[in-house]
A and B are shown apart, each in its own frame.
Chain A
Amino acid sequence: MLKQLFLNKRKSFEVFTKAIMYLSVGLTAALVLFLLLYILICGIPNITPELLMSKPSYLTEKIGILPDILNTLYIVFATLLLVLPLGVGAAVYLTEYATSKKMVSIIEYAAEALSGIPSIIYGLVGMLLFSNHMGTCLMAGALTLVIMNLPTIMRTTQESLKTVPQSYREGAFGLGAGKWRVVRTVVLPGCVDGVITGCILSVGRILGESAALLFTAGFAHAVNGLVDGLAAPGATLTVALYVYAKEQGEFGVAFAIAAILMLLTLLINFAATLVQRHFAKRRSI
């Protein structure tokens, strides 16, 4: 009689926990799906060729996001151009050249800590460091993003450098190759996947960044070439989204941008998975 009771109790507890788990899984999935659909449904009808191909004009009260698209491309380009050599160089130095274990671990720790800092703080520092000297411009924004993404590129490169087998290095040294030749011909080709992964993650981060750019790169919507564009203030898509939604109440445009950003993010995640799978396959032969 007593035993029976115990058994029932345990069983009902199991049913209860299971129900809770199903509920949380279902809720999470529903939320994601809702968000996705909501943004796409509100956004996609507003994405018109005209919106994509024109710039805003106060006279005609028309809105176009071409400048914001260009600004985003410029800032991604400039940031990667600067952060890649720095991040990859630092990673190669730390794993291949540095002899002091202590220094390496201090730098690694610092990089780890750096990547946890809220981006608005990067914005503040970038404003003091860059915008106050070179003016509010895309380049100041890009430099701020360089600092922000440096740890990411460094870490992913380092991780993949560690997967380059020691036996490759030994083989090359054994043939009389010097340090730099070993690094250039045997080590660096082996960490391409890490660099690409780092790039993809960084692009995703740059696309999503607003706080750090509000301080440093400004809000302008002018169509410029690459060089002029970097020297002038400008809004990226994410910043433009904020401006249109918050200051001008243009929710249609904001949702259009949101939909574009979301599609891009999905694309980037997909690309990251593809790259990782491609290299995992290559490594296994």
Chain B
Amino acid sequence: MSSIISVKDMCLWYGEHQALKNVNIEIMPKSITAFIGPSGCGKSTFLKTLNRMNDLIPGVKITGDVRYEGTDIFAKEVDVNNLRKEIGMVFQKPNPFPMSIYDNVAYGPRTHGITNKVKLDEIVERALRDAAIWDEVKDRLKKNALGMSGGQQQRLCIARALAVQPKVLLMDEPTSALDPISTSRIEELVMELKENYTIVMVTHNMQQAVRVSDYTAFFLLGELVEFDKTDNIFSTPGDKRTEDYITGRFG
């Protein structure tokens, strides 16, 4: 099987500060890849590079080669909005817009030109069902999304991302702001989504990586130290630093 995202010798600087050093990775389609590592090691930075969310930060410089389905994502011909339509994102802190639940989910499809009411209704329902939140919100789609609980908000944000029908979903510590019950709901959801989506997830929680992911990448000080099947990483790590980290010797 060939990878859907392929990164070769990627480096990234925030101004003078180098945050990523020669990262190489191949992300497999319809799998869950977890990024682990101590905070500040560059996990979020790397994740945000994959759909060019770093474009929004002034002073970022990137070298190397990042390909999505074989296309260089930094090529001039690439429309960054279409790239983000293909590679969606869920953030650490749930960030629904201050609009109705319906309008939140419909935001993406409307952005990409879908105005037909029937079609929108269909997409919204499907996305909410896929995000396992339909039953909780189907009677209050017109209510403001900010009135929901944190866990519901995060699943709404997942629905909102799914509504544009991406192929890849980037998730940056999607459960770190949530309680244990919401966390396990989202973990179950993520494992179901794997059937149709490629998922790349940053997590600060190693049990979570073990529970949900197929592949794990361990970052340290801007370097990708080790990348392998999750089972291998946690049973027979190839690098001393990985072993020290997963056995809790630092970070």
Query: Which residues in chain A, 180-207, are within 8 Å of chain B measured between CB atoms?
Result: 181, 185-186, 189-190
Nearest-CB residue, chain B, relative to A182:
B111
Interface string of A146-175 (1 = CB under 8 A from B): 000000000000000000010111111111
List A contacts of B164 (CB < 8 A).
Answer: 175-176
In the bound assembly, the distance between CA atoms of A186 and B98 in angstroms comes to 8
B56 proximal to A (CB < 8 A): yes
For the complex with contacts A173-B56, A173-B84, A174-B88, 13 further pairs of A-B residues with Cβ separation under 8 Å are A167-B93, A168-B98, A170-B95, A171-B95, A172-B111, A174-B51, A174-B91, A174-B161, A175-B108, A175-B164, A176-B84, A177-B107, A185-B107
Assuming A175-B164, A176-B82, A185-B107, is B147 touching A170 (CB within 8 A)? no
B224 proximal to A (CB < 8 A): no
List B contacts of A176 (CB < 8 A).
Answer: 81-85, 108, 111-112, 164
Point out which of A174, A185, A186 has the most chain B C-beta atoms below 10 A from its C-beta. A174
- Closest 6 A/B residue pairs (Cβ): A167-B95, A174-B89, A176-B85, A175-B108, A176-B84, A176-B81
CB of A174 within 8 A of CB of B53, answer yes
A residues sitting closer than 8 Å to B (CB atoms) are 99, 165, 167-178, 181, 185-186, 189-190, 285
What's the nearest-Cβ distance from chain A to residue B246, in Å? 30
Number of interface residues of B (CB under 8 A): 28
CB of A99 within 8 A of CB of B58, answer yes
Query: Which residues in chain B, 134-176, are within 8 Å of chain A measured between CB atoms?
Result: 144, 146-147, 157, 160-161, 164
Please report the number of residue pairs spanning A and B whose Cβ atoms sit closer than 8 angstroms.
63
In the bound assembly, the distance between CA atoms of A179 and B82 in angstroms comes to 13
What's the nearest-Cβ distance from chain A to residue B124, in Å? 14
In the bound assembly, the distance between CA atoms of A168 and B91 in angstroms comes to 11
In the bound assembly, the distance between CA atoms of A174 and B53 in angstroms comes to 7
List B contacts of A189 (CB < 8 A).
Answer: 98
Assuming A171-B157, A176-B85, A181-B111, is B146 touching A186 (CB within 8 A)? no
In the bound assembly, the distance between CA atoms of A283 and B182 in angstroms comes to 25
Query: Which residues in chain B, 65-88, are within 8 Å of chain A measured between CB atoms?
Result: 81-85, 88
B residues sitting closer than 8 Å to A (CB atoms) are 51, 53, 56, 58, 81-85, 88-89, 91, 93, 95-98, 107-108, 111-112, 144, 146-147, 157, 160-161, 164
Nearest-CB residue, chain B, relative to A168:
B97
Contact of B97 among A171, A173, A178, A285 (CB under 8 A): A171
In the bound assembly, the distance between CA atoms of A175 and B169 in angstroms comes to 11
CB of B84 within 8 A of CB of A186, answer no
CB of A175 within 8 A of CB of B160, answer yes
CB of A175 within 8 A of CB of B84, answer yes
In the bound assembly, the distance between CA atoms of A173 and B96 in angstroms comes to 13
Give 18 pairs: A residue, B residue, CB < 8 Å, sorted on A.
A99-B58, A165-B95, A170-B53, A171-B91, A173-B53, A173-B56, A174-B91, A175-B85, A175-B111, A175-B161, A176-B81, A176-B83, A176-B108, A176-B164, A185-B107, A186-B97, A189-B98, A285-B144
In the bound assembly, the distance between CA atoms of A181 and B97 in angstroms comes to 14
List B contacts of A165 (CB < 8 A).
Answer: 95
In the bound assembly, the distance between CA atoms of A172 and B161 in angstroms comes to 10
In the bound assembly, the distance between CA atoms of A177 and B106 in angstroms comes to 12
List B contacts of A168 (CB < 8 A).
Answer: 95, 97-98
List A contacts of B91 (CB < 8 A).
Answer: 167, 170-171, 174
CB of A175 within 8 A of CB of B107, answer yes
In the bound assembly, the distance between CA atoms of A127 and B112 in angstroms comes to 50
Point out which of B51, B89, B160 has the most chain A C-beta atoms below 10 A from its C-beta. B89
In the bound assembly, the distance between CA atoms of A173 and B89 in angstroms comes to 9
Nearest-CB residue, chain A, relative to B103:
A185
Contact of B107 among A170, A172, A285 (CB under 8 A): A172
What's the nearest-Cβ distance from chain A to residue B105, in Å? 10
